[in-house]
Amino acid sequence: MACGFRRSIARQLSRVLDLPPENLIKSISAVPISKKEEEADFQISVDSLLENSSNHSRLNIQNKAVRLAEKLKCDTVVSEISTGQGTINFKINRELLTKTVLQQVIQDGSSYGLESELFSGLPPKKIVVEFSSPNIAKKFHVGHLRSTIIGNFIANLKEALGHQVTRVNYLGDWGMQFGLLGTGFQMFGYEEKLQSNPLQHLFEVYVQVNKEAAEDKSIAKSAHEFFQRLELGEKQALAMWQKFRDLSIEEYVRIYKRLGIHFDEYSGESFYREKSQEVLKWLDNKGLLEKTIKGTSVVDLSRNGDPSSFCTVMRSDGTSLYATRDLAAAIDRMDKYNFDTMIYVTDKGQKKHFQQVFQTLKIMGYDWAERCQHVPFGVVQGMKTRRGDVTFLEDVLNEIRLRMLQNMASVKTTKELENPQETAEKVGLAALIIQDFKGLLLSDYQFSWDRVFQSRGDTGVFLQYTHARLHSLEETFGCGYLNDFNTSCLQEPQSVSILQHLLRFDEVLYRSSQDLQPRHIVSYLLTLSHLAAVAHKTLHIKNSPSEVAGARLHLFRAVRSVLANGMKLLGITPIYKGYSQYVNSGYI
Ligand code: ARG
């Protein structure tokens, strides 16, 4: 944050160590609340300052810490300097800490933490984030759901950090499934159903035609012919395909909107039908295509170390494959966006695919392949809705809404809610996202609706409650007290812990921006909510002298603001109005 405490400490250290302050800033970290044995706010570990820290014994490092600390002096910012295990600890002048943090949080609003010295010197980049990418007429499975929320988080974070982000949805909108769909639709498709519920109807047609094709060989043949017509660009077939695609996208847009997600580009494999042929020609001309005994063509990747490694780019009939289209798409996006980074978000099952695509690009002489990054995530088992396994995104959203409404119905005052459906959906989605973002993205986990919706404990429901509760506090007392504000009234341990925690927000954002893992932000927000719950119980506003009440209100307002910022980055819409009755009803 622009609080500048880190900078002041770095300046002090730089004098003693004879190093430029800029080199020290990132090594100075805010002490996490859970690790607070002392009251220090920041620390620097001494081994981060030593060149070959492994050559130094612990005793040596400790001595070094003590000697260094002796040379440092307290000033108007730092009120105490001490040493921990291999660290030098700094306590910030309490009045200054309170005033600066609260002012900064309130002044910076949604950019609090994002303008920190930790991010300075990072120029804005052009970033393409490709995510969600379902396959038309096929299942929208849990993997697509994860890709959707993870990709959205990454795009939000990058955008918040000032980068220019392009959000791309790369649809599975080409291939044999459209041959089958074309044939199937002629047999059992209904125009009205297609218009009113395209995703559902196309899926039904697809399932049915597959079933029939297993028994009747002529169906496979006509599907093949239909796809051939598409590949050749025949007008009628293309018009049908186009209609399937357009109607599907229309519905996707509407459903993504329920999630608060938008895309800048609906691309798809179909875009690269011709361009992938160009890629194949190019590879062939350069002598990089090798025919296998099976008749397929591959690019040899063994020069990258693995002798058995290759990328299959052409079927024996000359048609392109998934990887070929990805090669063409990457090259096209480079032309179009001139990106500094391109991020692909899919399940870990596609890890090898992306490795091969990136390596092939490199062999083709595209050094920018290094700017491409695959963000893989693990498998979620056991997510079921009333209709069974997840088939449509909309089913998941409906299930969330329904379950949340049921939970809420067990509380009497719910009827008073202005818009219970919408509230239920927002709280439920928060619950789903927090559950998903808690662990390492790469870990697999077993899904449980009960765990998702627990109101106590570390869930998205708890975050939403806390947010709404704090908001209702502002609504109840806000106007009267907010001008009256004396920082010396916030010296109880509960207040100081909150301030210390708020101080760490930039570091948490920095961490997530480095490894693209949302869990740092999730655990930060959960801790913040727990701290707020404790403070809410003990730091009363009602019946407190007005300057105490005003200071506390400021503190709670700051907590709510940072909570909202963090939630929005994760893709959660914080709940404001109409929820306080529910919250105050004692559900939590
Ligand atoms: N449509 C693919 C699937 O459902 C995901 C696409 C991932 N992106 C890519 N550029 N290959 O598996």
For residue 492, the tally of other CB atoms under 10 A from its CB is 13
- pLDDT grade, residue 306 (50/70/90)? confident
| Three-state SS sequence of 171-216 | EECCCHHHHHHHHHHHHHCCHHHHHHCHHHHHHHHHHHHHHHHHHC
CA 347 to ligand 1 center in whole angstroms = 9
Helices 505-515/519-538 angle, 10° precision: 160
- pLDDT grade, residue 37 (50/70/90)? low
Q: Which two tokens stand for residue 491?
A: 């010296």
CA 172 to ligand 1 center in whole angstroms = 7
Which residue type is seen at 427? Answer: V
Q: What is the Cα–Cα distance from 338 to 128, expressed in whole angstroms? A: 9
* Residue 429 · residue 401 · CB < 8 Å: no
- pLDDT grade, residue 456 (50/70/90)? confident
Residue 584 has pLDDT above 50, yes or no: no
Q: Measured in whole angstroms, how far is the alpha carbon of residue 297 from the centre of its chain?
A: 37
Residue 324 has pLDDT above 80, yes or no: yes
Per-residue pLDDT averaged across 557-583, rounded? 86
Residue 386 has pLDDT above 60, yes or no: yes
Per-residue pLDDT averaged across 401-429, rounded? 82
Ligand 1 contacts CB of residue 358 (under 6 A): no
- pLDDT grade, residue 59 (50/70/90)? confident
pLDDT by residue (tens digit) across 226-262? 999 998 899 999 999 999 999 999 999 999 999 999 9
Residue 403 has pLDDT above 70, yes or no: yes
Q: Measured in whole angstroms, how far is the alpha carbon of residue 541 from the centre of its chain?
A: 36
pLDDT value of residue 249: 96
Per-residue pLDDT averaged across 533-540, rounded? 93
- Please report, for residues 15, 330, 432, the alpha-carbon distance to residue 401 in angstroms, rounded to integers and kept in the order given: 58, 38, 11
DSSP class per residue in 462-513 = HHHHHHHHHHHHHHHHHHHHTT---GGG--SHHHHHHHHHHHTHHHHHHHHH
Ligand 1 contacts CB of residue 377 (under 6 A): no
Output 583 or 337, whichever has higher pLDDT. Answer: 337
pLDDT value of residue 459: 93
412 is catalytic: no
* Residues in Cβ contact with 15 at an 8 Å cutoff, skipping those fewer than 6 apart: none
Pocket test for ligand 1, best of 343, 346, 353, 355 (most atoms within 8 A of CB): 346
CA 59 to ligand 1 center in whole angstroms = 53
Ligand 1 contacts CB of residue 271 (under 6 A): no
Per-residue pLDDT averaged across 123-143, rounded? 95
CA 133 to ligand 1 center in whole angstroms = 6
Residue 62 has pLDDT above 90, yes or no: no
Residue 483 has pLDDT above 80, yes or no: no
Among 203-212, 407-416, 459-468, which is the least confidently predicted range? 407-416
Output 339 or 449, whichever has higher pLDDT. Answer: 339
- pLDDT grade, residue 588 (50/70/90)? very low
Per-residue pLDDT averaged across 180-206, rounded? 95
Pocket test for ligand 1, best of 130, 136, 170 (most atoms within 8 A of CB): 170
DSSP class per residue in 104-162 = HHHHHGGGTTTTSGGGTT----EEEEE----BTTS---HHHHHHHHHHHHHHHHHHHTT
Q: What is the Cα–Cα distance from 85 to 63, expressed in whole angstroms? A: 10
pLDDT value of residue 39: 80
Residue 585 has pLDDT above 50, yes or no: no
520 is catalytic: no
Ligand 1 contacts CB of residue 326 (under 6 A): yes
Q: What is the Cα–Cα distance from 377 to 233, expressed in whole angstroms? A: 37
Residue 340 has pLDDT above 90, yes or no: yes
Of 26, 99, 126, 138, catalytic:
138
pLDDT value of residue 290: 94
Share of the chain above pLDDT 90, in %: 73
Per-residue pLDDT averaged across 373-380, rounded? 97
Residue 516 has pLDDT above 50, yes or no: yes
Q: In what order do the strands lie in the sheet with 297-300?
A: 289-291, 297-300, 310-314
Output 21 or 563, whichever has higher pLDDT. Answer: 563
CA 326 to ligand 1 center in whole angstroms = 9
pLDDT value of residue 78: 94
Mean pLDDT estimate for the chain: 91
pLDDT value of residue 1: 47
Residue 579 has pLDDT above 70, yes or no: no
